[in-house]
Copies of this chain bind each other. A is one copy, B any other.
């Protein structure tokens, strides 16, 4: 019995945690209960019941079916229900007129045929891709039509039946909407806003996690693959969330779809707030996250760069990843606070700088660090600094031309690869002394794995430009507050 009571206690704790984690859940439940209670009062109290009669149970049904989590979804369902009922009502009245004019004998055949046609027609239409969001509306048309026409056939007075039903449905709809909007409203727009912000943080977290795991001693990392595909494991929680972010496109779409139905509210005071731009930013962010997934692929790939080679480029990789993650977080907090700061531009520059360092370092070592050359140079003798600075300037020169080439391609773009860092790099004499250990490690195709990791990181950074642009566009459309650069 103590086992059962401890299981019960655990269950109660779980439920409480679930409720505390997001108090909206409790608010939603209480609101749903309240809305049901309000409509049922129309039956329980004698006075209104005498006015409305038994038809009022349709209000209850309407509330039960229409009450959704967010305001936007409820309004959207209400719209579907209203338009669906209206279409069904009009159609039913037309068919009833036809049956009245065609005599008692023909009536059941006409009604049967019309039910078949409406059933087949609405079912076909709701499969049509652009009509899929209105699936519920077609269902409403179907059953409202059938109910009106059947009750009119057996109970007479079709117009009264139709009207009674419509007004009791609208009472239910009004109660559902009022309770949903006026008491602790849960806005789809707010949810979308938060979800997008948290995606930024998720991608940033998993990028850093990836980088940390890559630079950790590698041998113990080579886990069973099937785990990485399907199950979770403890040290890659951020990546699991990142994967969830990748699969969230449908959720963002539906939230944006609901948010469009909502009136201006809270911080979103603008009419026709650009919710669709949120979906767009989400798409660009997912596009960045694909690169993180590929980086994650490097972690678990069969061919691995040796640990010391990875460590050789440690500081550059750490720099680039940390800066990129910070940029993501700042973008996220900018969206979160609905501000447009110039800090992102500063950060974008420093991301580019550190990426440039990484790229440059890789380039230097693709020049110098091949075993063949070591073979020719005689490894036992340390090369003089002179030789290296020679190569360095050559490298710089070549890289500059390549850089110019990219610059030309990017003329159309606002923030292209910055060129100031070249000078900074030339001042940075520390690189030279670190070159020797790197030389011996880049030996075979395993080194290509490192090149892949860094290239993916660089590509990730390149995509950040587009992300900054998309957020920029959002901040213009949504009229975010413009702010000067912070301290």
A311 to chain B, nearest CB (A): 19
Whole-angstrom CA separation of A447 from B451 in the bound complex: 10
For residue A128, which residue of chain B has the nearest CB?
A: B18
For residue A37, which residue of chain B has the nearest CB?
A: B116
A interface secondary structure, majority = helix
In the bound complex, residues from chain B placing their C-beta under 8 Å from that of A28 are: 123-124, 127
Residue interface bits A177-194, CB-to-B below 8 A is 1, else 0: 000000000000000000
In the bound complex, residues from chain B placing their C-beta under 8 Å from that of A25 are: 124, 127
A447: which of B60, B366, B406, B443 is its contact (CB, 8 Å)? B366
Does A44 count as interface, using CB distance less than 8 angstroms? Answer: yes
Whole-angstrom CA separation of A334 from B284 in the bound complex: 36
Whole-angstrom CA separation of A406 from B446 in the bound complex: 11
Whole-angstrom CA separation of A290 from B299 in the bound complex: 14
Contact A222 B409 (CB under 8 A): yes
Q: Which of A72-80, A313-321, A343-351, A454-462 contacts B (4 or more CB under 8 A)?
A: A454-462
Does A198 count as interface, using CB distance less than 8 angstroms? Answer: no
Contact B37 A362 (CB under 8 A): no
Contacts A230-B283, A302-B406; is A367 near B363 (CB within 8 Å)? no
Contact A445 B151 (CB under 8 A): no
Does A485 count as interface, using CB distance less than 8 angstroms? Answer: no
Residue interface bits A391-414, CB-to-B below 8 A is 1, else 0: 100110011001000100110000
Q: Which of A245-253, A267-275, A426-434 contacts B (4 or more CB under 8 A)?
A: A245-253
A143: which of B61, B399, B456, B458 is its contact (CB, 8 Å)? B61
Closest 10 A-B residue pairs measured CB to CB? A33-B120, A36-B119, A294-B294, A33-B119, A64-B143, A32-B123, A452-B455, A29-B124, A33-B116, A29-B123
A194 to chain B, nearest CB (A): 17
Contacts A283-B229, A402-B444; is A150 near B462 (CB within 8 Å)? no
In the bound complex, residues from chain B placing their C-beta under 8 Å from that of A409 are: 222, 302
A–B Cβ pairs within 8 angstroms, 29 of them = A18-B128, A29-B124, A32-B120, A33-B115, A34-B119, A36-B119, A37-B112, A49-B154, A57-B146, A64-B142, A67-B123, A230-B280, A290-B293, A291-B294, A294-B294, A294-B297, A294-B456, A297-B459, A303-B406, A303-B458, A366-B370, A366-B445, A366-B448, A367-B370, A376-B376, A399-B445, A402-B444, A448-B455, A451-B452
Does A30 count as interface, using CB distance less than 8 angstroms? Answer: yes
Contact A452 B445 (CB under 8 A): no
Does A41 count as interface, using CB distance less than 8 angstroms? Answer: yes
Beyond known contacts A60-B146, A61-B147: 9 more, CB 8 A cutoff: A65-B143, A291-B297, A294-B456, A363-B444, A366-B447, A402-B444, A402-B446, A449-B455, A452-B455
Interface residues of A in 198-231 (CB under 8 A from B): 222, 225-226, 229-230
A466: which of B229, B246, B371, B455 is its contact (CB, 8 Å)? B229
